[in-house]
A and B are shown apart, each in its own frame.
Chain A
Amino acid sequence: MAVCVAVIAKENYPLYIRSVPTENELKFHYMVHTSLDVVDEKISAMGKALVDQRELYLGLLYPTEDYKVYPHTWQWLRVWGFPAVAGLCTVMPCLGLSQSPRIKSVFPNQLCSYGYVTNSKVKFVMVVDSSNTALRDNEIRSMFRKLHNSYTDVMCNPFYNPGDRIQSRAFDGMVTSMMIQARQPRGSCVSWLSLGIAEKVWVGALATHMGCLGLKSTGKEGLKGPLSSQWPRRRD
């Protein structure tokens, strides 16, 4: 589903922008900003045809592939307080095993941005995560329709001044319903594959065990410390 929704005014400043997850908001802001160029290009290219057909939906603007680094299985096992694993974690860097690039849980994340422009030149841009589900064009179109209707209601609110930032609760709620709430990091299984054979036996069993208990990895924030700084990290 959508990971970022933006409403852009006629003069190309944002009326509303929201994204999940919130930690790399800036990346989405850049992405939306870049999309605007494509929107402008598409509008001028279609020119008259756009007006004639009354087609507001612009379709796919551009796809990007970025890579997500999810926290390492080893580390969250350590965080969750398994002394044996913690011990192993301390030993591992000494043996030079963790320096292997394969150990990182990296996997591609396909993001696509879609555009929609109203006749009053207000633009809607939506960034969609299509790495696990390929959304059909029709679905995107209906999502934009919903967004447009909701935007119309915001405009009809007498307390809203056209051109202001949108702070409507109803609009916010509608956007939330279009966004995924929390994506499960699929780190555990991917890193499981990327681990070496010897570690696989140990950690694999533990990871499945943890998975059964419904425990989640804690995210990048929980990994500060002298030990974790030794792990190879990918900068994004």
Chain B
Amino acid sequence: MQLGPAHPIPALCPDLQKSSELFTLTYGALVTQLCKDYENDEDVNKQLDKMGYNIGVRLIEDFLARSNVGRCHDFRETADVIAKVAFKMYLGITPSITNWSPAGDEFSLILENNPLVDFVELPDNHSSLIYSNLLCGVLRGALEMVQMAVEAKFVQDTLKGDGVTEIRMRFIRRIEDNLPAGEE
């Protein structure tokens, strides 16, 4: 008798669509648990951002390895890569990029539908909770690893009655590698 699996083990998530509910529910459980653990919504937002940051600094390695995108020459190119490659790869959606500031250092990501909030209805006592704040943390963390300090924040949210979800991204500065003295 032969031991071992009769069939090859299928990939963990062969179809993103199939696992999206599990993903959504997992994220929901995470947020509600944070809401239980912390007194006010501000702390929960901060915590979500921190968790997102920690995901982002790791995720960027995976992203660069899998996507084969090269170095971006300007912030517009970065925006394109984020929307068309990164969001597509990890969330299965392609947000649109709008509202560029004249200086070209600020833009908005418009999410028509946010998979994180599929079943969510914010209760009245959590009106200041930024439910998907994890995404901002991920963006901030990932870009920081490629020498870009950015600020990301939600300015519109479908959970709060807006028509779309909008993440505003602002470029702050390039992070110069501070090499230790004596090394080149």
A and B associate in one complex: yes
Let me know if B118 and A158 touch, CB within 8 A: no
Let me know if B121 and A168 touch, CB within 8 A: yes
Mask, B49-93, CB within 8 Å of A = 1, is 000000000000000000000000000000000000000000000
For the complex formed, measure the closest distance between the CB of B17 and the CB atoms of chain A, giving whole angstroms.
Answer: 16
CA distance A153 to B21 in the complex (A): 11
* A159 in complex: contacting residue of B21, B24, B126, CB < 8 Å: B126
B4 interface contact, C-beta 8 A: no
B28 interface contact, C-beta 8 A: yes
Let me know if A158 and B25 touch, CB within 8 A: yes
Please, which residues of chain A bring their CB within 8 A of the CB of B118?
156
Please, which residues of chain B bring their CB within 8 A of the CB of A159?
28, 32, 35, 120-123, 126
CA distance A170 to B120 in the complex (A): 10
Per DSSP, are chain B's interface residues mostly helix, strand or loop, or mixed? helix
Please, which residues of chain A bring their CB within 8 A of the CB of B120?
157-159
Interface hits, B21-45 → A, CB 8 Å:
21, 24-25, 28-29, 31-32, 35
Please, which residues of chain A bring their CB within 8 A of the CB of B28?
156-159
Name the residue in A154, A158, A168 with the highest tally of chain B Cβ atoms < 10 Å from its Cβ.
Answer: A158
Name the residue of chain B whose CB is nearest to the CB of A171: B121
Mask, A161-189, CB within 8 Å of B = 1, is 00000011110000000000000000000
Let me know if A170 and B25 touch, CB within 8 A: no
Please, which residues of chain B bring their CB within 8 A of the CB of A153?
119
Please, which residues of chain A bring their CB within 8 A of the CB of B123?
159, 167
Name the residue of chain B whose CB is nearest to the CB of A155: B119
Please, which residues of chain A bring their CB within 8 A of the CB of B21?
156
Per DSSP, are chain A's interface residues mostly helix, strand or loop, or mixed? loop
Instruction: Count A/B pairs, Cβ under 8 Å.
Output: 32
Interface hits, A46-102 → B, CB 8 Å:
none
For the complex formed, measure the closest distance between the CB of A220 and the CB atoms of chain B, giving whole angstroms.
Answer: 34
Name the residue in A159, A169, A170 with the highest tally of chain B Cβ atoms < 10 Å from its Cβ.
Answer: A159
Please, which residues of chain B bring their CB within 8 A of the CB of A168?
121
Let me know if A156 and B25 touch, CB within 8 A: yes
CA distance A47 to B49 in the complex (A): 51
Let me know if A169 and B119 touch, CB within 8 A: no
CA distance A47 to B123 in the complex (A): 39
For the complex formed, measure the closest distance between the CB of B162 and the CB atoms of chain A, giving whole angstroms.
Answer: 15
* B32 in complex: contacting residue of A158, A167, A170, CB < 8 Å: A158
Please, which residues of chain A bring their CB within 8 A of the CB of B29?
158
Please, which residues of chain A bring their CB within 8 A of the CB of B25?
156, 158
Mask, B115-130, CB within 8 Å of A = 1, is 0001111110010000
Please, which residues of chain B bring their CB within 8 A of the CB of A160?
121
Name the residue of chain B whose CB is nearest to the CB of A153: B119
Please, which residues of chain B bring their CB within 8 A of the CB of A154?
119
CA distance A170 to B31 in the complex (A): 21
Let me know if A156 and B121 touch, CB within 8 A: no
For the complex formed, measure the closest distance between the CB of A40 and the CB atoms of chain B, giving whole angstroms.
Answer: 30
For the complex formed, measure the closest distance between the CB of A132 and the CB atoms of chain B, giving whole angstroms.
Answer: 35
CA distance A160 to B120 in the complex (A): 9
CA distance A157 to B121 in the complex (A): 7
For the complex formed, measure the closest distance between the CB of B124 and the CB atoms of chain A, giving whole angstroms.
Answer: 9
Please, which residues of chain A bring their CB within 8 A of the CB of B24?
156
CA distance A154 to B120 in the complex (A): 8
CA distance A107 to B40 in the complex (A): 57
What 5 pairs between A and B have smallest CB-CB spacing? A158-B28, A156-B119, A158-B32, A157-B119, A159-B123
B interface vs A, CB < 8 Å? 21, 24-25, 28-29, 31-32, 35, 118-123, 126
Jot down 17 A-B pairs with beta carbons below 8 A, ordered by A.
Answer: A156-B28, A156-B118, A156-B119, A157-B28, A157-B119, A158-B25, A158-B28, A158-B29, A158-B31, A158-B119, A158-B120, A159-B28, A159-B32, A159-B35, A159-B122, A159-B123, A170-B121
> With contacts A156-B28, A157-B121, A158-B119 known, what are 11 further pairs, Cβ within 8 A?
A153-B119, A156-B25, A156-B118, A158-B25, A158-B31, A158-B120, A159-B28, A159-B32, A159-B35, A159-B120, A168-B121
